[in-house]
Amino acid sequence: MQQKHFNKYKYLGLNISYYRKAKKLSQIKLAELINISRTHMSRIETADCAVSLDVIFDICDILEIPAEKLFEIRD
């Protein structure tokens, strides 16, 4: 991930965490449902790694939200 995009990844991770918790899913459960490790899920939510669109789309499918919800920047 390029450092210039860090804040975007941070908001992406925060939004994933928000919607995951709204669905009452743990990181472990969401990771299992999209077939990634819990560590990878944690790293996505904390903006510690880049994430593929395939994984983002899988997350959206499980959380039942449109992809644009994950890219909203809320103050």
For 1-56, the pLDDT digits (tens) are 678 889 999 999 999 999 999 999 999 999 999 999 999 999 999 999 999 999 99
Predicted TM-score (pTM) above 0.85 = yes
Residue 14's pLDDT is 96
CA-to-CA dists, residue 31 to 21, 38, 39, 71, 72, angstroms: 13, 5, 9, 20, 22
Contacts of 18 (CB under 8 A, 6+ apart): none
